Amino acid sequence: MNDGQAHTSGGSDELELATDWRWDGAELLYDLVAPTEAASLDLLADIGAAALTRAADAVLDCVVTLRAPRRKPVTAGSPEEAVLLTRWDQEHSHGPASESLDGNVAILVNAESRDPRWPHYRQRLLAAGYLSAVSLPLDVDHGYAGALTFLAAGANVFTAELMAHALGFRDLASRSLRLATQVRRASEFSEQLRSALSSRTAIDIACGVIMGQNRCSYDEAFAILSNASSHRNIKLRLVAEGILEGYGGAPETHFEV
């Protein structure tokens, strides 16, 4: 861990706003829309580190975890020691992040506390250069689970006042991450639809070619195309495009989604 530096991208409008969420209305959201879940989580981790560092007047690092249905959790943040510690916690179900992912409670770990839980996590916490950590569950989309973990080099950093700030930031982060996830899923669906429509166009035109060559119906032409796909173990779209290549190439599809 680098002493004296907050692990943020620095200079962005989001990081400036991150320190002001306590004073603005509930309508404030962070722009976390990105091509991948990991990229969105990286943005949130940078904003979280900047926000809590200023609130605590001490350097804090932030790691964000998102667990989607039927997929392994995605973990992002900085520095690497914090990310590796959080991943170990999740993989072994031994620490505050995994506890927050599975429940709805805020988990605080201080190196000097007498809480007997997670002795191996505490050892790794110290080895990574931290004396205290807190993990908060994120309120994300149905079927998803998320956790926001803050780590500090100092002991007893997470006072009652700072915890109130952290919980307020968690609520804003949850709303922002839900929106980013919904926008990304809509974009993915749009791309899938475009691909499906493009494939359908090639298949329909190839069927038209077969109909002209064999003087058959569309259903018969489609059956011929399907049989060729099955026998050659090639996707139907690729067979169709192969036929069209002999007629100047597959057509471009123009449509609005």
How many domains, the chain? 2
Is residue 18 over pLDDT 70?
no
- pLDDT value at 185 more than 80: no
The pLDDT value given to residue 2: 43
Domain-located, residue 124: yes
Are 111 and 132 a contacting pair, CB within 8 Å?
A: yes
The rounded distance, in Å, linking the Cα atoms of 110 and 108 is: 7
Classify strands 145-152 and 132-138 as parallel, antiparallel or unpaired.
Answer: antiparallel
What's the confidence (pLDDT) of residue 253? 41
Of all residues in the chain, the percent with pLDDT exceeding 70 is 75
CA–CA separation, 198 and 182 (whole Å): 24
Q: How many other C-beta atoms can be found within 10 angstroms of the C-beta atom of residue 168? A: 14
Looking at the structure, tell me whether residues 44 and 118 fall in a common domain.
Answer: yes
* 7 within some domain: no
Q: Residues 36, 129: one domain?
A: yes
Domain-terminating residue out of 165, 187, 209: 187
Q: What is the pLDDT of residues 128-165, one digit of tens each?
A: 999 999 999 998 877 888 999 999 999 888 888 999 99
- Cβ atoms of 244 and 205 within 8 Å: the answer is yes
Q: Say how far apart CA 220 and CA 86 lie, in whole Å.
A: 58
Asked if 91 and 112 sit in the same domain, the reply is: yes
- Looking up tokens 């139907």 gives 236
Which residue is it, tokens 């070619």? 209
Of the residues 187, 217, 238, which one is the last residue of a structural domain? 187
Give the pLDDT band of residue 102 (cuts 50, 70, 90).
confident
Amino acid letter at 194? R
Q: Say which residues have a Cβ less than 8 Å from residue 176's Cβ, sequence separation at least 6.
A: 29, 30, 31, 32, 44
8 Å CB contact between 147 and 137: yes
For residue 109, tell me if it sits in a domain. Answer: yes
Torsion sign, CA atoms 191, 197, 202, 203: positive
Whether 19 contacts 12, CB under 8 Å: no
- CA gap 257, 169 in Å, rounded: 36
d(CA 200, CA 161): 59
For residue 205, the model assigns a pLDDT of 86
Together in a domain, 139 and 31: yes
Please provide residue 42's backbone torsions phi and psi, each rounded to the nearest 5 degrees.
Answer: -60, -45
- Which residue among 187, 211, 238 closes a domain? 187
User: Which of these ranges, 13-22, 138-147, 188-197, 198-207, has the smallest mean pLDDT?
Assistant: 13-22
* pLDDT at residue 72 in the model: 85
* Mean pLDDT rounded to a whole number for the chain: 79
Report the CATH number at residue 229.
Answer: 1.10.10.10
Return the minimum-mean-pLDDT range out of 8-12, 117-121, 151-155, 214-218: 8-12
What is the CATH classification number for the domain harbouring 180?
3.30.450.80
Name the residue range of residue 206's domain: 192-246
Work out the pLDDT band at 125, boundaries 50, 70, 90: very high
Residue 254 has pLDDT above 60, yes or no: no
pLDDT tens digits, one per residue of 29-69: 677 777 788 888 898 899 999 999 999 989 999 999 998 88
